[in-house]
Amino acid sequence: MAEAKSHKLEREYVIPLRQKWKRVPRYKKTNRAVKAIKEFLVQHMKIRDRDLDKIKIDKLLNEFVWERGIKHPPAKVKVKAVKEGDEVIVHLSELPENLKFKKARFDARNKKAVEIAEKKKSTMEKLKEAREGKEEENKAEEGKTEETKEKEEKKAASLEASQALEKEAAKMSKKETKKDNQPKHQRRMALQK
């Protein structure tokens, strides 16, 4: 087996998009611009089989390209590409102000999610310790005499039987009240001559 190369390949490019999206109809321009980014990077980042699926576009880069809608993509984009193994991850090189704000918001959200996950993990550990304590108590209860266990089982069985009888009696009383044979609505009769 051949092992994948562990070194990273980082490069910055200014990708021209205008020539690619000029040739397509208005309603396909931004789609074509995204595809042009992938094609450019497949060629320049030495991906041998020319597979576009190996290029992963960053969320902020995608937002930058789609910012002005499907009909008006940017003419060129400055990107930073990082190749690890077979995959290439593409980021926007210089963020505009509105995307800086969004990135800060995403980072804060991710940080909060990590904190919540850590809290959840610590509570799960506490619950696990509590369960272990309960298991020890259950083992201590098993030491009770068999007579007390039998008495408890008899009480539980009689309680369940009485509850079952009460449920059946309640069902029967419901059926008796519904036995009124009077229809809810009066039937229409044909006029008599």
Model confidence at 180: pLDDT above 70: no
Residue 109 lies in a domain: yes
> DSSP per residue over the chain, as a string?
-PPPP--EEEEEEEEE-HHHHTTS-GGGHHHHHHHHHHHHHHHHTT-TT--GGGEEE-HHHHHHHHTT-SS---SEEEEEEEEETTEEEEEESS--HHHHHHHHHHHHHHHHHHHHHHHHHHHHHHHHHHHHHHHHHHHHHTTS-HHHHHHHHHHHHHHHHHHHHHHHHHHHHHHHHTT----SSPPP-PPP-
pLDDT band per the 50, 70, 90 thresholds, residue 135: confident
Residues 18 and 81 in one domain: yes
Residue 191 lies in a domain: no
Residues 23 and 87 in one domain: yes
Residues 67 and 24 in one domain: yes
Poorest-pLDDT segment among 55-69, 144-158, 159-173: 144-158
Residue 48 lies in a domain: yes
Residues 58 and 69 in one domain: yes
Residue 155 lies in a domain: no
Residues 85 and 100 in one domain: no
Model confidence at 145: pLDDT above 60: yes
pLDDT band per the 50, 70, 90 thresholds, residue 49: confident
Residue 153 lies in a domain: no
Residues 85 and 108 in one domain: no
Model confidence at 190: pLDDT above 80: no
Residue 52 lies in a domain: yes
Number of domains in the chain: 2
Residue 70 lies in a domain: yes
Residue 183 lies in a domain: no
Model confidence at 167: pLDDT above 60: yes
* Full residue range of the structural domain in which residue 103 is found: 95-142
pLDDT tens for residues 2-29?
445 567 889 999 999 999 998 999 999 9
